[in-house]
Structure formats: structure tokens, C-alpha cells
Amino acid sequence: MRQRLVVGNWKMHTTLSEALILATSLRNSISEVGGVRVVLCPPFPWIVPVAEILTHRPSHLKLGAQDAYYKEEGAVTGAVSAAMLRGIVDYVIVGHSERRRIFKESSTLVNEKVHAVIKQGMTAILAVGELTRVHHQEKRHHGRPTRTEARSDITTQLEEGLEGISKKEVGQIAIAYEPVWAVGTGQAADGVYANHIAELIRKWLTRRFGASLAGEIPILYGGSVTSENVEEFSGQPELDGVLAGGSSLKAKEFTALCHAFAR
């Protein structure tokens, strides 16, 4: 059975004390939630203190990083390598739209990061998604892309992001479908549409790795998920979890997302 995953991306939020308070409340509330793996991705400097406060955490509560550089070490000011994160986190988000947009990360760099994360024994959560909200008809409308165009953006990001990944490495991959127009905007995609794209991703993964391996890769939805709309996504057969930004900063709200995916 595919792993269910709920990921909290704290982005560049929280002070150290806020991070420790949030992690402590989540350690308690998440212990009650079964059948889903929960990954907290604090800002880099809080990862170790959060790990310390979570020493006695339930085994389904994991730590992740929001990014990692692919070179192991060297003169790369400001970067944190996947090699440095080994043993501290189990998951790393790679290719988030904010990294692609603000830091101009290319798909080649994203691919190098996926390889580095896997090589260091962690799981890469590869984020993919179209830039603008699609038009529901197969005709361009006010410059909005069609579904076919959105689909081709996503398959290109998959092809480039997973280039050179072998069948043996498939167990260290999760895909987060995050339409860029839905991230941080308060305008989530609707569940049926997100499931439709997840199906398309699964088909692509099946062509690439074969049905049985592709069937094991968790596919998450991300973009303005809240406790109010999470059922839209948890009720979809192809969605195995969510990646939440804003909603991951409030313990009660984030716990509600985890409950929605609990078995």
C-alpha cells in the first residue's frame, strides 16, 4: 500500500521559540494520528533544535528540509548540502516553485538536487506544477493555458526533474503537484482537477518505471490547503497526501490535515 504523506513546509516563518512550541504541540497531537507519515520542514537553522525537541517523537513523525544543494561541500556561500542533512532529516523538498521563481533554479539544477538527495539516502519530494490557472476548455481564453498545455508543462518538469533516476531509486521519490497559481494565494485547485493531474502524473511514472513501481510513489497536492478544503483532496483516489505551507504553521490546523489522511 502506498505511503500516505502530509508535509508541512514552514518556509521562512517562525522564530526559534515559535518553532519549538509548534514542534512540541505537533509531537503530542500527531502521536494520535495513525496510518499517515507526517513530515515537518522547518527553516534550516531550526532543524537541529526541532530534532532535539522531537527526540522522543512517534516513528511516523519525520523531519524534512525545504531544499538542499547538490554538491557535497565547497565554496558555495549560503548553501546547505544534501550530504550535510544526511542523518538529520529523512525528506527534502526539491524544485519548489518559490525556488524555481525567486532563485531562478533551472530544471538541470533541480535534477542534480534530486540525485544528491537520493544518493544521501533521503527521499526527494519533487514539486511540479503549471504556472497559471488553466482554462477548462481546450481553447485559449484570455491568455490562460489549456489543460493540454498545463499537462505538457508538468510532464516536462517530470522528465527533467527525474532524468537519470533508476528503478532502484524509485522508493526515494514522492511527487508534489503544486499548481503555482494556487500556492499561497488562498485559491486551492478543486479536488477533481488535482486528482486528474495526479492520474496524469501516475501514467507518466508508469511509462517511465513500470506499473508496480509507479504505484508505490506517493503523489501529493499542494496549494492553499486548509482544514476547510482538505476533504476535497483526501477523498481523491490518486492523492496520497498534501504539502501545506500556511496551514502548517498552526498546530491545530495542521493536525486536522493529518487526520484527513489517517486510515
Q: Does the annotation mark 96 as catalytic?
A: yes
Contacting residue, 150, 173, 225, 260, with ligand PGA by CB under 6 A: 225
From the list 127, 54, 128, the residue with the least C-alpha distance to 89 is 54
> Could you say which of 105, 178, 232, 253 is catalytic?
178
Chain residues 182-221 in contact with ligand PGA, contact rule CB under 6 A: 183-184
Taking the complex as a whole, the smallest distance from the CB of residue 245 to ligand PGA amounts, in Å, to 2
Taking the complex as a whole, the smallest distance from the CB of residue 141 to ligand PGA amounts, in Å, to 25
Binding mask 127-166 for ligand PGA (x = CB under 6 A): ----------------------------------------
Contacting residue, 63, 245, 254, 255, with ligand PGA by CB under 6 A: 245
43 binds ligand PGA (CB under 6 A): no
Q: Does the annotation mark 169 as catalytic?
A: no
257 binds ligand PGA (CB under 6 A): no
Q: Judged by CB, which is closer to ligand PGA: 41, or 209?
A: 41
- Report d(CA 233, CA 247) in Å as an integer: 15
- Cell of residue 90, nine digits: 529523512
- Report d(CA 30, CA 259) in Å as an integer: 9
Q: How far is CA 4 from the centre of its chain?
A: 12
The helix/strand/coil state of 200 is helix
Residue nearest to ligand PGA (CB): 245
Is the four-CA dihedral 113, 205, 163, 167 of positive or negative sign? positive
Taking the complex as a whole, the smallest distance from the CB of residue 133 to ligand PGA amounts, in Å, to 14
- Report d(CA 233, CA 18) in Å as an integer: 29
Instruction: Name 87's Cβ contacts closer than 8 Å, sequence gap at least 6.
Output: none
- Cell of residue 186, nine digits: 488562498
DSSP 43: -
- Cell of residue 160, nine digits: 527533467
Range in contact with ligand PGA (rule: CB under 6 A) among 30-38, 49-57, 160-168, 178-186: 178-186
Would you tell me which residues interact with ligand PGA (CB under 6 A)? 9, 178, 183-184, 222-225, 243-247
Q: What are the residue numbers of the active site?
A: 96, 178
